[in-house]
């Protein structure tokens, strides 16, 4: 299923400082989601991204441009 938000870079990484996994999608919102299980954090991050897509659609606004690019593309 292709979603309009599929263009946005998202990542989940361990934060040594916070001692937890943090998931972010910087082009769409500030902050992030966090938790002890990286798979659960990834699922929660996708839920938040989906919520943002719905907010933009309900407000009849265009999504912001994707600016963050991965440093390496995988084929």
Predicted confidence at residue 72, as pLDDT, reads: 58
Question: What global pTM score does this model have?
Answer: 0.84
Please indicate, yes or no, if residue 30 is contained in any of the structural domains.
Answer: yes
Please indicate, yes or no, if residue 7 is contained in any of the structural domains.
Answer: yes
Task: Give residue-wise pLDDT tens across range 8-28.
Answer: 999 999 999 999 999 999 999
Please indicate, yes or no, if residue 31 is contained in any of the structural domains.
Answer: yes
**What distances in angstroms separate CA 31 from CA 9, 24, 45, 73, one per listed residue?**
14, 7, 11, 25
Residue span of the structural domain in which 9 resides: 1-36
Please indicate, yes or no, if residue 49 is contained in any of the structural domains.
Answer: no
Of residues 4 and 33, the one with the higher pLDDT is 33
**What distances in angstroms separate CA 62 from CA 37, 44, 46, 57, 75, one per listed residue?**
32, 23, 19, 8, 29
Please indicate, yes or no, if residue 59 is contained in any of the structural domains.
Answer: no
Task: Give residue-wise pLDDT tens across range 42-73.
Answer: 999 999 999 999 999 999 999 999 998 766 55
Count of structural domains within the chain: 1
Strands, E, within 18-60: which ranges?
Answer: 20-24, 33-35
Please indicate, yes or no, if residue 12 is contained in any of the structural domains.
Answer: yes
- The band of 75, judged by pLDDT with boundaries at 50, 70 and 90, is low
Please indicate, yes or no, if residue 44 is contained in any of the structural domains.
Answer: no
């Amino acid at each position: 299923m292709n979603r309009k938000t599929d263009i946005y870079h998202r990542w989940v990484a361990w934060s040594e400082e916070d001692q937890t996994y943090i998931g972010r999608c910087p082009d769409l919102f500030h902050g992030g989601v966090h938790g002890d299980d990286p798979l659960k954090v990834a699922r929660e991050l996708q839920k938040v991204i989906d919520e943002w897509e719905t907010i933009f659609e309900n407000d009849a606004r265009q999504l912001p441009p994707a600016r963050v690019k991965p440093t390496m593309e995988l084929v």
